[in-house]
Structure 1
């Protein structure tokens, strides 16, 4: 083919048909440019196809892993609600000021010492986002669902810092100054009945019923707890909606 084109160029040049030669040269350049553009287009199309196949694989895996994330989120919300119920009951006992409820108060006040961080460990989702695939999602509704989960993760992380600060600066000092850890209903995996420390200074729980610091410590922690539950419910909604959207394309 190249030999054929070379003969045509030589013929125009030898016959002093410079204008035809120039037009031919321009045409040849144009053909080369078109060929390059076609090659680039084919390469881009292949790249887009490969990228879309990769994204589809992520969609399939995310659809599967989100089931476990949703289950974990539901379990977390159930645990948080149980803690909130304990703290609410403590406030009710303080209001009642009945000493026959002290044992129940001691059993439930341990919920004040529980750290309830938002443990969002969504490695596959983070990997998808870190590779920049969010900007490549063409479906606006699907993209919106991904953004909602992303916002939920950011809010959860920021809220964890608030919870940690409140616990370190307020809750833990209050417990150490006013309560006895030995009275708490601790989980069985932490201590069994044989190796759990016994004794320690006695706490006059009847006096706590008239202590404003006790009331505010429990009430304040309950507010943080309720806020966490609300945030986690929002995250749960975002996870369910994303998984539903992925089910339509997986």
Structure 2
């Protein structure tokens, strides 16, 4: 088309018809501009489509990642629930000062002396956020939930640090001084230990204010951890639902 206009302009110029020459020249310029605009529009559309497809691919993978995390949360919740029950039973025994309950106390104290960390990782989600792809999300609720997830993960890290400090500074030193650990270790660790050594005075333990407070503080941290797991589980369910909506509307 442009060659056609150029040929006409050349003929008009040779014939001295300058007015029509400029009209055809203007038409040629307009065609060039229209062509450029169309090319830019197609390029922008392709770029947006590539970004959208990338976003959808990540969201599908994130949804799978979060579903796997929900399974991990169930595992951790089962452990925490069991430890909460053990801590409550220990406190009930200490409160009763019933010497007949000492064998049960020995079986339960291993949980108090053991530190378990909740380890949750989100590599795909982190990669998505680090590439700022969340800015492509149209769903405001999903954007907000990703923000909440970041805040909740920070809370978990604080909780883990607190639990570690509590174990290192309070629980372990008490057991070192007052309890023969090989007697009360949970089976997972006990099988590799040597049985024997000084005997623990459980009659003194059952009246120990320090042990009472240790068990109480341990119960408090377990309850906090359990609530964090419940909150995280509910949040992941909401994120998965909003991801499905975002994909459907993309």
With structure 2 as the length reference, what TM-score do the two structures score? 0.84
Aligned residue number for residue 233 of structure 1: 230
| Residues 108-140 of structure 1: per-residue CA shift (max 9 Å, x gap) | 111112223221123232232233221211122
The alpha carbon displacement at 1:76 in A equals 0.8
Aligned residue number for residue 217 of structure 1: 214
- Structure 1 unaligned runs (5+)? none
Structure 1 contact 171–217 (Cα < 8 Å) conserved = yes
**Residue 35 (str. 1) matches residue 32 (str. 2):** no
| Residues 7-39 of structure 1: per-residue CA shift (max 9 Å, x gap) | 455466663848973x76566445434433322
In the alignment, the residues of structure 1 paired with residue 172 and residue 33 of structure 2 have an alpha-carbon distance, to the nearest angstrom, of 72
Structure 2 contact 91–216 (Cα < 8 Å) conserved = yes
- Structure 2 unaligned runs (5+)? none
Aligned residue number for residue 129 of structure 2: 129
Structure 1 contact 63–243 (Cα < 8 Å) conserved = yes
Structure 1 contact 118–157 (Cα < 8 Å) conserved = no
Aligned CA distance change for structure 1 residues 171 and 191 (closer, same or farther; 3 Å): closer
- Which structure has more RCO (C-alpha within 8 Å, separation ≥ 6)? 1
Q: After superposition, where does 1:90-239 map in structure 2 within 5 Å? A: 90-188=90-188, 190-192=189-191, 196-239=193-236
Match of 1:72, SS state, is helix
In the alignment, the residues of structure 2 paired with residue 158 and residue 20 of structure 1 have an alpha-carbon distance, to the nearest angstrom, of 77
**Residue 243 (str. 1) matches residue 245 (str. 2):** no
Structure 2 contact 9–21 (Cα < 8 Å) conserved = no
With structure 1 as the length reference, what TM-score do the two structures score? 0.84
Aligned CA distance change for structure 1 residues 177 and 33 (closer, same or farther; 3 Å): farther
The alpha carbon displacement at 1:196 in A equals 3.2
In the alignment, the residues of structure 1 paired with residue 171 and residue 20 of structure 2 have an alpha-carbon distance, to the nearest angstrom, of 91
In the alignment, the residues of structure 1 paired with residue 27 and residue 65 of structure 2 have an alpha-carbon distance, to the nearest angstrom, of 56
Aligned residue number for residue 55 of structure 1: 55
Structure 1 contact 81–229 (Cα < 8 Å) conserved = yes
Structure 2 contact 84–223 (Cα < 8 Å) conserved = yes
Aligned CA distance change for structure 1 residues 2 and 172 (closer, same or farther; 3 Å): same
Structure 2 contact 139–242 (Cα < 8 Å) conserved = no
